[in-house]
Amino acid sequence: MNTKKYIPTALALYFTYFVHGIGVSILGQYKQNFAGAWGAEKLATGAFDVSIVLAVIAALGLGRLITLPIAGPLSDKFGRRISGLIGIVLYVAYFVGIVMAPTMQVAYIFALLGGAANSFLDTCVTPTLLEIFTESGDVANMFTKFSISIGQFVLPFIIGFIAASAMSYQTIFYVTGAALAIDGLLIAFMKFPPRNVVAGAAEGAKAKPEKMKFTPVSIAVISLGFTITSTFQLWLNCNQELGKLYGLANPKDIQSYYAMGTMAAILVTAVLVKKILKPVHILVLYPAISFAMLAIVYLVRTPGICLVAGFVLGYAAAGGVLQLAVSTANSFFPAHKGKITSIVMIASSLANFIILNIAGMLSKAGGAENGPLYVLLLNMGVTLVGILIAVYVNLEFKKQGVGKKNSVA
């Protein structure tokens, strides 16, 4: 298939994930601001209790969870464009509504819309990229994470610029929402490839529609969506408090190191996947690196270790591992790309909702001194479970002779 005519579409879709990178991180950067705006209680230290903000962040996962069962089939039946445009409209509503919300309850509703937006974008962007880049879908899908990472990387600089210019933090939300709306107008008129095309086939050739049959190994790959997401979401949303506990002068610097690690991982992993390792090998290797780094952070309680961990966890926890799990799951069901993407992302959404709610409770129970450490231990536990699942997947792939990239057991 001639992919060149779809490059503008791919770039516009990557931009939605750039904005998503800002959207998924920005609440964590302004927890104190939002806690104050939504009437949170003050702690003995004078800071606001941020547990209500963590609950709102968790609602992003709940919003995804509610709508993913709808988004996937809608994408497969009515087209990727429709799914993407719905996602963009909902995301614009989230950016505007979250800063106008007077209470945590109202903010929760807009966070649900933000999560729904994410689900519709997921079932548009990932299948479309796999259908445009039929011979390099793993790498193309990983670059969605690269787009997210660029958004996360520039966010601290945007925050600094807003602060230096004496503008309200709300400015970021309004500007980002407007940029996404413009991108949506472009996507509405761009060309999209045929749905469910087969790698290596003639243009327009589609995978034979067959009923989805789940095997233990395919279910295991889907479950990695939960563990992988838990690892990076727990770090992403709770590293600021850990940095403060360890005496880091500017905890917001962790975010920049995290984003740099993620971007480095995409570039390095793209080469590894193409020339050296299979995607399933990365699903074991990177979580193992993450677990080791989390253990080091727990044992070595110094300011500098937070910055090192920011980079390493950005690389190993968020460096395209989830995208490789999605691509691997898609290889099992080539005629149901929207649906299987939804299913993996449902597992990811469960992580957002369940794990972040648990993190909120642990944070409140442990207070400023022990809360971050409790969350760190939680992260280590769930990451270890993910490693064991990934080992099983690798053993099954080896046992069933899955050698070629994009082939399935």
107 within 8 A of 56, measured Cβ to Cβ: yes
**What share of the chain has pLDDT > 90, as a percent?**
40
CB 47 within 8 A of CB 32: yes
Cβ atoms 56, 359 nearer than 8 A:
no
Most confident stretch, 89-98, 140-149, 320-329, 362-371: 89-98
Which is higher by pLDDT, 62 or 91?
A: 91
How many distinct structural domains can be found in the chain? 1
The CB density around residue 214, as the number of other CB atoms within 10 Å, is 12
Q: What is the mean pLDDT of residues 57-84?
A: 88
The mean per-residue pLDDT over the stretch 33-52 comes to: 83
**Whole-number pLDDT of residue 121:** 93
Residue 405 is assigned to a structural domain of this protein? no
Contact 172, 162 (CB under 8 A): yes
Q: Domain containing 246: what range?
A: 4-399
CA distance 27 to 316: 23
Residue 187 belongs to a domain:
yes
CATH code for the domain of 263: 1.20.1250.20
Q: Which pLDDT value is given to residue 183? A: 96
Banded pLDDT at 17 (limits 50, 70, 90):
very high
Q: Could you tell me the pLDDT band of residue 331, with boundaries at 50, 70 and 90? A: confident
Nearest to 18 by CA among 104, 121, 89: 121
CA angle 157, 159, 160 (to 5 degrees): 65
**Within a 10 A sphere around the Cβ of 245, how many other Cβ atoms?**
19
Where does the pLDDT of residue 223 fall: very low under 50, low under 70, confident under 90, or very high at 90 and above? very high
Q: What is the pLDDT of residue 397?
A: 85
State the SS3 of the chain: CCCHHHHHHHHHHHHHHHHHHHHHHHHHHCHHHHHHHCCCCECCCCCECCHHHHHHHHHHHHHHHHHHHHHHHHHHHHCHHHHHHHHHHHHHHHHHHHHHCCCHHHHHHHHHHHHHHHHHHHHHHHHHHHHHCCCCHHHHHHHHHHHHHHHHHHHHHHHHHHHHCCCCCHHHHHHHHHHHHHHHHHHCCCCCCCCCECCCCCCCCECCCCCCCCCHHHHHHHHHHHHHHHHHHHHHHHHHHHHHHCCCCCCCHHHHHHHHHHHHHHHHHHHHHHHCCCHHHHHHHHHHHHHHHHHHHHHCCCHHHHHHHHHHHHHHCCCCHHHHHHHHHHHHCCCCHHHHHHHHHHHHHHHHHHHHHHHHHHHHHHHHHHHHHHHHHHHHHHHHHHHHHHHHHHHHHHHCCCCCCCCCC
pLDDT digit string, tens, across residues 342-385: 899 888 878 877 888 898 888 888 887 888 899 999 999 999 99
For 40-68, what is the mean pLDDT? 83
Q: What is the pLDDT of residue 381?
A: 95
Rounded CA separation 133/110 (Å)? 34
The band of 2, judged by pLDDT with boundaries at 50, 70 and 90, is low
pLDDT at 206: 56
What pLDDT was estimated at residue 196?
A: 65
Mean pLDDT of the chain: 86
Residue 403 pLDDT greater than 50, yes or no: no
**Terminal-residue alpha carbon distance, the chain:** 26
Q: Which has more confidence, 332 or 167?
A: 167
> Residue 333's closest CA among 220, 197, 224, 212?
212
- What distances in angstroms separate CA 201 from CA 2, 28, 131, 156, 247, one per listed residue? 11, 44, 11, 44, 57
Model confidence pLDDT, tens digit, residues 254-294: 888 888 898 898 889 888 888 888 888 999 999 999 999 99
How confident is residue 406, by pLDDT bands cut at 50, 70 and 90? very low
Span 106-124, pLDDT tens digits: 999 999 999 999 889 988 9
